[in-house]
Structure 1
Amino acid sequence: MPVSDPSESPTETTVDPAVPPADTGGDAGTGRAADPGSPADVEPAAGSGTVFIPSPEVEAVVARWNPQGLALLRALHGSGAATVVTVIGPADVNTTLLRTELARFEPRITLSEPMADPSAAVATTSPSDRGQPSVGALSGLALILLDAGTTIGADLLEAIGRLRADGTRILLAMNGIHAYRDWRAVRARNLELLAARGAADLDIVPVSARLAAAARTAGDAGLLDRSGLGSLHAQLTAAAAGAAAATGDRSAAVTGRVLADTRQRVVEQVGALRSGAELARLREERAVLLAGRDGGRATAMSTLRGQLHLARVDLMTDIGARIRALHTAARAELDRLRRADLRGYPDRLQQTVTELTGGVDRTIDHRLAELGGRIEGAERGMPSRRRDPAPRVGPDPEPRHRGVEDHLMIALGASAGVGLGRLLVAPLSLVPALDVASVPVTLALGGGAAAWVVRARGQLADRAHIRQWVSDALVNVKAQLEQRVATALVETETVLADLVVQASTARMVDTDRRVVELEAKLRRMAAEQPGQLAACERDIRILDRSISPVETNDQLGTQ
């Protein structure tokens, strides 16, 4: 069966089940069926009683339903034969499968064993060779198989040039296109290399034997067309013109097979029209579109709110952890500071808060970027977030005021100092002359002890005062950072909600347009179905009248 070039769209080589082809044969202009009493639709070729050429009416039907079949008939009637072709390519599984699938086409073309060495192939395919002729040398026709994943090498280009110089006819086929998505670019590059070598007239036929095998198993004519095997077979048949004489029964068999295949395609179209499968599919598609008519707005808005809530929880938790870590570090640092260094600690805390705010801003930006990446259109509609200054830790702590505790510490310190002094000078009181002299020493020791106790107590009180101020300041900083997060999320929600509405509105408009198109198509198909069935039945009658003479003459030729 003929197939189309896989580089073409399937709609260019197969019949659209929704729109049956117009009848161009018989009385096509008036829309009437051909007269049953008209002459035979298949005429014998001149000089042969068994080679049949379709009439213009049959040719028009075949052209509408089976364009590659018509190309095969024209190539067959132009050449009248198939011949032996020398295959130049790798001896792998793909080549074996290609030879097997080509052997299923009529007229059968014998392919030689693949020759992987292009230089050796030149000696066996060139008609000018004076050595032992091979099967390929009888026809001077070579089929060169190219890899769909790589470009032509220099050795193969040189071999092609030598074959053309010796008069060998060459056909190029790119096998295995099913395995490479960029085979079209490789084919274009190969054509450029051939044109640079002066072989611009050569074409490369993209084929896939695996697709042909799958189409044969599934009975899918469209997939068989896309495999390219029919197109390659038709070109091989046409290239073998004049190589050998074809027998009449083989020509009649090929013609009958093409007509039968065309009739089968029309019958399948009639079955599809009567089953209403296409109408049911369109109605189902319309129902699906109507079910999602809101453009996914409700789902998108629900997802957006959930993601915003999750982002708020995560960011608030992160801020709380950062503030607690800063408070712990500040308390540890205060315990190590001297009393003179406590005065400059507020500035150091402000610097630390500024650095912490920068880290929080980066976390917010990263989380909002992740959130925007899930919304359609956010990559081009997200405005830059406004950056506020870092929170202030508040006014510096007020000086600590001396109270009753400080005076009490002075009294306790003096008392302890006097007692310590008396204890130290107690041995001197045993000497009457030194008893009076021990009094100043006792007072001096008491005064010194009192001063030390008061100073130590003041340092502890200052640290406690600064520690309390740090706690109050960090509470204020935390509140400002949480407000920063809430503001950023509200602004982002406003922008993203607007983008969701815009995207869903665009989808709603597109859905409405598609629903209108489907409804119009349904009405048109319902109105055109009787005419389509009538046209298909008329083509079947034309093909039936054409198949009968072919089968009759085929039987006469075999007797």
Structure 2
Amino acid sequence: MPDSDQPEQALSPAGADPVARVLDAPPLPPDVEAVVARWNPQGMALMRAVLGTGAASAVTLIGPDDANTTLLRTELARFEPRIALSDPVADASAAAETTSPSGAAPAAVALILLDAGSSLGTDTLRLVHRLRADGTRILLAMNGIHAYQDWRAVHAHNLDLLATQDAADLDIVPVSARLAVAARAGGDASLLDRSGLTALHAELAAAAAGAEATGDGRLAAVTARVLAETRQRVADQVAALRSGAEPARWREERTTLLAGRDGGRATALSTLRSQLHLARVDLMTDVGSRVRALHTAARGELDRLRPSQLGDYPERLQQAVTELTGAVDVQIEHRLAELALRIDGATGEHAVPARRRDPAPRVGPDPEPRHRGVEDHLMIALGASAGVGLGRLLVSPLALVPTLDAASWLVALLLGAGAAGWVVRARRQVADRAHVRQWVSDALVNVKAQLEQRVATALVESETALADRVVRASTARMVEIDRRVAELEARLRRTAAEQPGQLAACERDIEIIDRRISPA
């Protein structure tokens, strides 16, 4: 097991040397083996491997010569018995020649390092076949599992590849030297087990046969170290049970869950209402500005139209209103998409509420024909009088000639009639243009009201859909919170009921280990 910075005597009674006490002791009794197997299964496997193989022989290392391999060799060197690893050989064919040189016996054990992020290659499979043909015992380790989230899928795929190559008896040990470093720095035994180095060292110790047992006390040292580490694990568990840190953490988690038991419904609904109100204000303001811009453009266009084109203007205005409605619809959908995205954090969904598009508002019936009133008759009289007066002014020089005096009256009347007709026509054009302009104003007022109703309807429908989404999501979270709270409460009750028995069992296991380390 890994070296510890603390002296092992602190884990055994009265400062005795555990190596000396276990050196000449018989094999572990069944009760001690049961305690070690329960608390330190990797240590038990290591003891059995050392017991079956004696001292460890050198192992040929096949893998990349990089920082990860160096760190793996460094961490493996901290375990007892020490396994001698050769320098790493990266090239598969060169490794085969190194492990089985011409005229020399092949290596007894070879450790092949695989990348946790890629599958087995053809060269590696060919190397496995060659080494197995030479009688070399092969161990496969997938290094660097901490850096890949999908290493389990790669591990399963590699095992399938080995099975298809008639090597189903080979196993791949997932390891991470960096996790082992973190476990050693924090004194976390469970993290060390998850790093896989203890399992890899146990397999290496079991496979590394061929060296003679020298009687140097290596088995006793390993046994003492495993017992000391097992006792430390039990002592740590006793300290954790007596401190009550884990139940306190569960109570804190339960309090946090109960504080947010509504599943965030109140916050989400409040956010939804405020965002809907803001969207309503923005969209209403946008509709008003667009309608005013259309009204201004229509008035300018009416001033430029010829009198003969005024009759076709309602159709042109309807086309402009249709385009304006399309722009308003696009703006509504854009705001609804922003609103749905804003509350996605509360609901977990990412769908814009469906919205029905109604036809564009109609500008209404065409303007009615303008009816002549008193103003028209007054303009006829004013035009005729003005024309006659202008005619008399123009023909006044003719009145000096007696023979042309009668003709001057006829010319004056003709000029008066022409002036009256021009004034009446001009008045009619001005009145018709003003009539259409008034109709446009009334029609756009109606269009604005319909567009505002369109905005309000879209927001009400979206509010209904989004509120239902918020309620469904918060209800699901409430159910999950209740389930988690019930699980924590059951765990707290079970811990309170089982803690005395667990403490007694841990103290009994410590006593069994202490009797083995320091027999009476």
TM class by shorter-chain length? 0.7 to 0.9
Q: Distance in 2 between matches of 1:335 and 1:59?
A: 105
Q: Distance in 2 between matches of 1:440 and 1:503?
A: 94
Which of 390, 407, 425 is the aligned partner of 2:360?
Answer: 390
Superimposed CA distance per residue, residues 377-398 of structure 1 (whole angstroms, 9 cap, x where no aligned partner): 6959987444444323233222
Give the aligned partner of residue 28 of structure 1.
none
Which of 243, 248, 253 is the aligned partner of 2:221?
Answer: 253
TM-score by length of 2: 0.88
Q: Distance in 1 between matches of 2:320 and 2:188?
A: 73
1:276 aligns with 2:244: yes
Residue 368 of structure 1 and its aligned partner are, at CA, apart by 2.9
Which of 450, 462, 471 is the aligned partner of 2:420?
Answer: 450
Residue 66 of structure 1 and its aligned partner are, at CA, apart by 0.9
Letter in 2 for 1:73: M
Matches within 5 A, 1:403-414: 403-414=373-384
Give the aligned partner of residue 55 of structure 2.
81
Q: Is the 8 A contact 1:91 1:116 kept in 2?
A: yes
Residue 435 of structure 1 and its aligned partner are, at CA, apart by 5.8
Matches within 5 A, 1:127-146: 129-131=101-103, 139-146=107-114
Decide which structure has greater helix share.
2
1:151 aligns with 2:119: yes
Q: Distance in 2 between matches of 1:65 and 1:378?
A: 42
Give the aligned partner of residue 336 of structure 2.
368
**Structure 1 stretch displaced more, 510-519 or 424-433:** 424-433
Question: Structure 1 residues 437 and 100, CA, compared in 2 at 3 Å: closer, same or farther?
Answer: same
Which of 201, 208, 213 is the aligned partner of 1:233?
Answer: 201
Letter in 1 for 2:243: S
Question: Structure 1 residues 442 and 162, CA, compared in 2 at 3 Å: closer, same or farther?
Answer: farther
Give the aligned partner of residue 79 of structure 2.
105
Residue 50 of structure 1 and its aligned partner are, at CA, apart by 4.8
Give the aligned partner of residue 17 of structure 1.
none
Q: Is the 8 A contact 2:142 2:175 kept in 1?
A: yes
Matches within 5 A, 1:276-315: 276-315=244-283
CA RMSD of aligned residues (A): 2.9
1:316 aligns with 2:284: yes
Superimposed CA distance per residue, residues 57-76 of structure 1 (whole angstroms, 9 cap, x where no aligned partner): 11111111111111111111
Give the aligned partner of residue 172 of structure 1.
140
Q: Distance in 1 between matches of 2:348 and 2:143?
A: 44
**What is the aligned-residue identity percentage?**
75
Give the aligned partner of residue 504 of structure 1.
474
1:535 aligns with 2:505: yes
Q: Distance in 2 between matches of 1:175 and 1:506?
A: 41
Letter in 2 for 1:350: Q
Q: Is the 8 A contact 2:112 2:139 kept in 1?
A: yes
Question: Structure 1 residues 500 and 226, CA, compared in 2 at 3 Å: closer, same or farther?
Answer: same
Question: Structure 1 residues 151 and 426, CA, compared in 2 at 3 Å: closer, same or farther?
Answer: farther
**Structure 1 stretch displaced more, 65-74 or 188-197:** 188-197
Give the aligned partner of residue 69 of structure 1.
43
- SS of equivalent to 1:294: coil
Q: Distance in 1 between matches of 2:450 and 2:462?
A: 18
Letter in 2 for 1:156: T
Residue 453 of structure 1 and its aligned partner are, at CA, apart by 2.9
Give the aligned partner of residue 548 of structure 1.
518
Residue 183 of structure 1 and its aligned partner are, at CA, apart by 1.7
Give the aligned partner of residue 16 of structure 1.
none
Q: Is the 8 A contact 2:353 2:466 kept in 1?
A: no
Gap regions ≥5 residues in structure 1: 3-41, 553-559
Letter in 1 for 2:265: R
Matches within 5 A, 1:19-30: none
Q: Distance in 2 between matches of 1:466 and 1:123?
A: 100
Give the aligned partner of residue 265 of structure 1.
233
Superimposed CA distance per residue, residues 258-312 of structure 1 (whole angstroms, 9 cap, x where no aligned partner): 1111111000000001111112112112222222223322222212211221221
Give the aligned partner of residue 444 of structure 2.
474
Which of 515, 524, 531 is the aligned partner of 2:485?
Answer: 515
Letter in 1 for 2:430: L
- SS of equivalent to 1:87: strand
1:223 aligns with 2:199: no
- SS of equivalent to 2:504: helix
Q: Is the 8 A contact 1:141 1:168 kept in 2?
A: yes
Question: Structure 1 residues 146 and 380, CA, compared in 2 at 3 Å: closer, same or farther?
Answer: closer
Q: Distance in 2 between matches of 1:56 and 1:260?
A: 17
**Structure 1 stretch displaced more, 496-505 or 433-442:** 433-442
Gap regions ≥5 residues in structure 2: 3-19
Q: Distance in 2 between matches of 1:450 and 1:81?
A: 132
Residue 166 of structure 1 and its aligned partner are, at CA, apart by 1.6
Residue 371 of structure 1 and its aligned partner are, at CA, apart by 3.0
Which of 487, 496, 501 is the aligned partner of 1:526?
Answer: 496
Give the aligned partner of residue 60 of structure 1.
34
Q: Distance in 1 between matches of 2:402 and 2:126?
A: 133
- SS of equivalent to 1:81: coil
Give the aligned partner of residue 163 of structure 1.
131
- SS of equivalent to 1:84: coil
Q: Distance in 2 between matches of 1:420 and 1:524?
A: 117
Question: Structure 1 residues 447 and 243, CA, compared in 2 at 3 Å: closer, same or farther?
Answer: farther
Letter in 1 for 2:196: G
Superimposed CA distance per residue, residues 103-162 of structure 1 (whole angstroms, 9 cap, x where no aligned partner): 101110111111111111111112xx335x6xxx67422111112222222222222222
Letter in 2 for 1:130: S
Residue 89 of structure 1 and its aligned partner are, at CA, apart by 1.4
Give the aligned partner of residue 23 of structure 1.
none
Q: Distance in 2 between matches of 1:514 and 1:85?
A: 50
Question: Structure 1 residues 182 and 426, CA, compared in 2 at 3 Å: closer, same or farther?
Answer: farther
- SS of equivalent to 1:359: helix
Q: Distance in 2 between matches of 1:470 and 1:453?
A: 26
Letter in 2 for 1:535: A
Letter in 2 for 1:70: M
Letter in 2 for 1:84: A
Letter in 2 for 1:487: T
Q: Is the 8 A contact 1:173 1:206 kept in 2?
A: yes
Question: Structure 1 residues 248 and 43, CA, compared in 2 at 3 Å: closer, same or farther?
Answer: same
Residue 100 of structure 1 and its aligned partner are, at CA, apart by 0.6
Q: Is the 8 A contact 2:140 2:171 kept in 1?
A: yes
- SS of equivalent to 2:217: helix
Give the aligned partner of residue 16 of structure 2.
none
